[in-house]
């Protein structure tokens, strides 16, 4: 079946979970202090522009236990796509990919390369600093994206139309 047909055969109204991974914002939230989640806001806006539904938004710290809990909750639920924003860089705190990867049935190896290629035109060689990845688990899509608002926008604008296609194939 051609990819265009797959895209149209996939679920039309996807339910998306957006999880921002940020120790500093999580600490502010825990103290009851004001904080912003611009990346989560941008991702939500882009998801809605694509015609998908925001199932829920979460904010967690850069802690494997909290990230694993979000993956487990997602895999038990009925939502279609889980988007992590943050924790994909090269600092010692960036553990999103290492934490999520064992839960994936299959990794979409080309995703990170494609995102870095698209980002190269926007941010130059700094694009190499992202370790973004994506994969499927239990017929669902999981993305680990950089935490900046522009990276969230670029990622979802560039690849969001493929979500139904990926899910259709993963569920076949």
Question: How many structural domains is the chain composed of?
Answer: 1
Residue linked to tokens 């941008």: 42
Least confident of 84-88, 115-119, 126-130, 153-157: 126-130
CA 161 to chain centre: 14
135 has a pLDDT exceeding 60: yes
pLDDT number for residue 23? 87
pTM here is 0.93
- What phi, psi does 80 have (nearest 5°)? -100, -35
What confidence tier does 26 reach under pLDDT thresholds 50, 70, 90?
A: confident
pLDDT tens per residue across span 30-62: 888 888 899 999 999 999 999 999 999 999 999
pLDDT tens per residue across span 2-12: 666 655 666 67
Helical (H) or strand (E) element with 154 = helix 149-159
With CA atoms as reference, report the closest residue to 39 among 18, 53, 23, 60: 18
The separation between the first and the last C-alpha atoms of the chain, rounded to the nearest angstrom, is 12
Check if the beta carbon of residue 143 is closer than 8 Å to that of residue 17. no
pLDDT number for residue 124? 83
Q: Which two tokens stand for residue 109?
A: 């190896």
pLDDT number for residue 1? 57
What is the CATH number for 39?
A: 3.40.980.10
pLDDT number for residue 122? 83
What confidence tier does 126 reach under pLDDT thresholds 50, 70, 90?
A: confident
Find the domain containing 91 and state its range: 3-170
Strand-pairing partners, residue 47, are none
pLDDT tens per residue across span 68-119: 999 999 999 999 999 999 999 899 999 999 999 999 999 999 998 998 898 8
């Amino acid at each position: 079946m051609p990819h265009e047909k797959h895209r149209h055969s996939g679920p039309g109204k996807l339910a998306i979970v957006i999880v921002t991974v940020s120790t500093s914002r999580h600490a502010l939230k825990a103290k009851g202090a004001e904080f912003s989640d611009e990346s989560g806001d941008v991702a939500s806006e882009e998801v809605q522009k694509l015609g998908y539904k925001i199932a829920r938004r979460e904010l967690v710290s850069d802690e494997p236990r909290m990230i694993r809990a979000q993956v487990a909750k997602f895999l038990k639920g009925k939502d279609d796509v889980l988007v992590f924003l943050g924790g994909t860089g090269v600092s010692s705190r960036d553990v999103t990919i290492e934490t999520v990867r064992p839960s994936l049935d299959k990794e979409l190896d080309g995703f990170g390369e494609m995102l870095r290629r698209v980002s190269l035109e926007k941010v130059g060689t700094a694009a190499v600093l992202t370790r973004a990845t994506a994969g499927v688990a239990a017929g669902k899509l999981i993305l680990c994206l950089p935490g900046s608002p522009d990276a969230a926008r670029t990622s979802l604008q560039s690849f969001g139309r493929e979500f139904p296609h990926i899910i259709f194939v993963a569920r076949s």
